[in-house]
């Protein structure tokens, strides 16, 4: 969806009210232990600047609270503490409750009292927003069942591992699915905040926040997440999204027709785009990506060649060995015997996170 369409998905844009009318956007924040400070600050600074004229920060058009079951400072992943401004009151008093996630696997992000309150908010129909790994918090609480969920490309495999029955979206900045909104984090938080402010307060106020923060145009929810280096230097958004889908589906490769459909082009058009941008057909690039992943596994694990072939999306080990030798000049067994070496045949893919 375009940004204005994203705004319509959660309501109709309105004009900024007079100070006496009270705030038209009321947001409650829940900060996870070791939360991502940038995700929180980007969202709340957009609210602060939208709430008042100039930089005076009075809560006229918008209001916000940082809520917690305790009043102890909540530590960000960088070590800085944020003191809550309110306890867990009536969740229905908020237009949105924003869950700001952070580091994974560092203990429980919230206590049971907070999770119970979050579930109560969901039962009341309050829109819930997950920023960064806030999507993990919502999914763990059972609040994303049957919903589309956006995660960062960086945490895509983490999410798939923990929630194998979910199909996360990692080729978008954010996803709105009814009263659940999830955002990959990073700069995408600014774009989501802009869309919500535009919906409740108006376009001019939303743009004012971005201008003060020296931010360029707001991106739509459907724009691809910036991504190194497998898609680095690729300007065409459709090709970038196709590359992300390939990287995220190594073990069970997607048909090229499905990739084309998901990036909203025909198969023939995707073939032309890949040839123009990368000088290769999509299937050829996809196969090389999988073979290089297999090379990485051979160099860094003691898994069998058969297991690695399956992990790289090859159901036939003999076919995998032939393809591997055609690309690298030696068999998988020879690769393991020789030990790790720089693969000069695929410099354009060197360094991609899928091979870290």
CA 316 from chain center: how many Å?
34
Cα 322 to Cα 28, 209, 284: the distances in Å are 57, 56, 15
Res 300: pLDDT: 78
Give the pLDDT score at 293. Answer: 86
Please give the residue that has the higher pLDDT: either 6 or 170: 170
pLDDT at 228: 52
Query: Rounded to whole angstroms, how far apart are CA atoms 188 and 241?
Result: 16
Residues 233-261: tens digit of each pLDDT: 688 889 988 998 898 888 889 999 999 99
Q: What is the pLDDT of residue 229?
A: 54
Distance of CA 8 to the CA centre of its chain: 21
pLDDT of residue 9: 44
Mean confidence (pLDDT) of the chain: 86
Torsion angle of C-alpha atoms 71, 72, 77, 82, degrees rounded to 10: 60
Mean pLDDT to the nearest integer, 190-194: 97
pTM here is 0.67
Dihedral angle, C-alpha 5, 44, 95, 72, nearest 10 °:
150
CA distances from 286 to 171, 177, 213 (A): 17, 30, 39
β-pair type (74-75, 81-82): antiparallel
Give the pLDDT score at 1.
40
pLDDT in tens, 58-117: 999 999 999 999 999 999 999 999 999 999 999 999 999 999 999 998 889 999 999 999
What's the start-to-end Cα distance of the chain, in Å? 33
Domains of the chain: 3-212 (3.40.50.880), 237-282 (1.10.10.60), 287-355 (1.10.10.60)
Higher per-residue confidence, 195 vs 105: 195
What DSSP line would sit under 290-325, residue for residue? HHHHHHHHHHH----HHHHHHHTT-S-HHHHHHHHH
Distance (Å) of CA 87 to CA 68, 273, 321: 5, 53, 60
Q: Residue 14: CB partners within 8 Å, gap ≥ 6?
A: 24, 199, 200, 201, 202
pLDDT, position 13 = 34
Q: E strands along the chain, which residues?
A: 25-31, 62-67, 74-75, 81-82, 96-100, 128-131, 174-177, 180-183
């Amino acid at each position: 969806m375009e940004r204005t369409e994203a705004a319509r998905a959660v309501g109709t844009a309105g004009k900024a009210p007079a100070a006496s009318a009270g705030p038209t956007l009321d947001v409650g924040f829940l900060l996870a232990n070791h939360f991502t400070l940038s995700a929180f600050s980007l969202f709340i600074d957009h609210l602060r600047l939208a709430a008042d004229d100039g930089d005076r920060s009075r809560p006229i058009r918008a209001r916000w609270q940082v809520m917690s079951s305790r009043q102890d400072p909540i530590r960000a992943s960088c070590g800085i503490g944020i003191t809550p401004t309110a306890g867990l009151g009536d969740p229905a008093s908020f237009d949105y409750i924003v869950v700001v996630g952070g580091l994974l696997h560092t203990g429980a992000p919230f206590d049971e009292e907070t999770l119970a309150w979050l579930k109560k908010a969901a039962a009341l129909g309050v829109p819930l927003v997950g920023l960064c790994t806030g999507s993990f918090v919502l999914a763990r609480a059972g609040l994303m069942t049957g919903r589309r969920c956006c995660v960062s490309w960086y945490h895509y495999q983490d999410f798939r591992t923990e929630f194998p029955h979910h199909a996360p979206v990692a080729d978008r900045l954010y996803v709105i699915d009814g009263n659940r909104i999830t955002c990959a984090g990073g700069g995408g938080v600014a774009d989501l905040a802009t869309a919500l402010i535009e919906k409740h307060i108006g376009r001019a106020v939303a743009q004012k926040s971005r201008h003060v923060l020296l931010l360029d145009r707001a991106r739509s929810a459907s724009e691809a997440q910036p991504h190194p280096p497998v898609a680095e230097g690729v300007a065409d958004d459709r090709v970038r999204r196709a590359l992300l889908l390939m990287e995220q589906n190594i073990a069970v490769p997607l048909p090229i027709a499905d990739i084309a459909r998901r990036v909203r082009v025909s198969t023939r058009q995707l073939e032309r785009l890949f040839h123009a941008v990368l000088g290769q057909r999509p299937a050829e690039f996809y196969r090389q990506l999988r073979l290089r992943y297999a090379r990485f596994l051979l160099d860094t694990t003691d898994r069998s060649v058969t297991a690695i072939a399956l992990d790289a999306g090859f159901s036939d080990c003999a076919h995998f060995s032939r393809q591997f030798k055609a690309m690298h000049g030696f068999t998988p067994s020879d690769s393991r015997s020789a030990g790790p070496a720089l693969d000069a045949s695929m410099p354009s893919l060197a360094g991609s996170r899928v091979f870290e």
